[in-house]
Structure 1
Amino acid sequence: MPPAPYPSDSAPSPLGPDDALTPDALPDSWVARTPRPVRPYLRLMRADRPAGFWLLMWPCLWSTALAVPATEPQFWILCALFLVGSIVMRGAGCAWNDIVDRSIDLKVARTAARPIPAGQVSWARALAFAVGLSLTGLLVLIQLNGFAIALGIVSLIPVAIYPFAKRFTYWPQAVLGLTFNWGALMGWAAVSGGLAPAALVLYAGCLFWTLGYDTIYAHQDKADDLIAGVKSTALKLGPSTRAWVIGFYALFVAGLTAAGALAHMAWPYYLGVAATAAHLAWQTARLDIDDPTRCLDLFRANTGLGWVPFAGAVAAGLLAV
């Protein structure tokens, strides 16, 4: 029996009945106004769900802002490169994830309408598309120094592993954290040609940020995950999720604080960290693990949150000049 449709699957859509939005896509996305043959590929790279590229980009920008002040032209050049790189590499990673998960996605209501399980894109064409996006990412990568290029190539290892993690561990969100926060290393490396304790601590802290927001996200799928036989922190932590997310977010804030101290950031940075902590406290207070809509909204809130530590780091860099 096919998975039961979500309300948004049966509602009128500008994409047409054969190209319906997945339930967590933005209903007014610009993807709906593109030529029909292009839409499945844009959806494959999650262009109608931009939260992911923001979450991939923020650690890059935070790390860059810790390493070099915004008064330096290099800062803005790197920010632009990381923006483009985050969009295309997030798209490549999503395509690879959907290729690996195509049989599982058919069993999960939220993912059954994705282009591969819906039969709109074959896995072979999806693989070719992922390769094309990766080559675009390589063009961005080679603008950096040799150490950063090597570090970026190494990041493909956790990217390749991540889609399989849910099959053998209840902590696939930890593998996602290792993958999605690689930019915390890349930003510093792109500036300095190496790594330092501040970048390593930021990377560790961001891992716990991902554990928090993606555990919240995973609660949307917990019933279907049981049916599909895959694992997640949502299933592992269950009713204890709120306490664990509080712990994850506390460690993230501690990582931001320690990274700033190691990078000798001025006081505006710590105002940004304090505001970040307040927002995360609001998230945990609002959390209802049995309300998928609430979980999705709280997950998405992390994309805007990224501006707060970034603004604090930029202001601190300007003050230090």
Structure 2
Amino acid sequence: MSGMKVIKPTTITTAMLTSSTVAEPAAGEVAWNAATAYALGAVVIRATNHMKYERKIAGTSSTAPENDPVNWDEAGPTLRWAMFDRKIGTATTAATAVTVVTRPGSISGLGMLELVGRQVDITLKDAPGGVTVYSRTMNLDGTQITSVYEWFFLDFEQLTDFVLTDLPQHYAACELTVQITSTTPVSVGVLQVGLVMTAGRTAMGATVGIIDYSKKEKDRFGNWDVVAGAFSKRGNLQVLTPAAQFNKIFRSLAALRATPCIYIGADQVGFEPLIIYGFYKDFSMVVQYDQHHLCNLEIEGLSQ
């Protein structure tokens, strides 16, 4: 199989987001106002931290929702920032296109997850308004065509996840533009950029699946009552690592123990399930051979 890589995240801050075609507040979102009397269940947003809040008790309060847990519950990110909140299950949506421009600093990797759309265009400039040094267009049609018949009659198959690991890292003042387009509504669950760490080569025998958090119970007549819940990806990878990098790889993985990253078991079309956004539950390195060692990774994805 191909090389195993990890995209270590760069947190996108307010200062890094130069522009977005999604407004804040977006249509349907309402900014909090200290003088307004809110009904139970009313939802407002705070542009200061890009979060939504739901009213727990009807009334008026002069304290900002983020500092008032008595009256407000956190209710997720604003529409503009959902793609940057480093969580699965929240998405930035638009009618036909979303375009964001960021200044993330040095990056070599980009991952987009939970996508709905037809095409993504990525442009990296050496500086704001500068010279284009990297450009890629990703077709989000994941249909595997094997015959003329399939070319004409197979339905469009949405490519929901993809990663790029070849961005030029040495442009610390870079400007990154990402645009997703379609003729129908588009959606972006996760846009993560960062530095790429190459751990080695994924060995054959990798496994991937899901952990299902749905509730399934039988009633007294033996009938199943199923309540659909969240789920998360899980994967078990065995990676062949260079012996000379034993200490470097061990220390790098140990440093990621509490950081959600994009783990790439195989960067190939058709192997998207081996792209897992989450944490490793366990990793171990076996000193197996003179020139290579074995790294065992058990990865659990974030719930979606």
Q: TM-score normalized by structure 2?
A: 0.27
Structure with the higher fraction of residues in helix conformation: 1
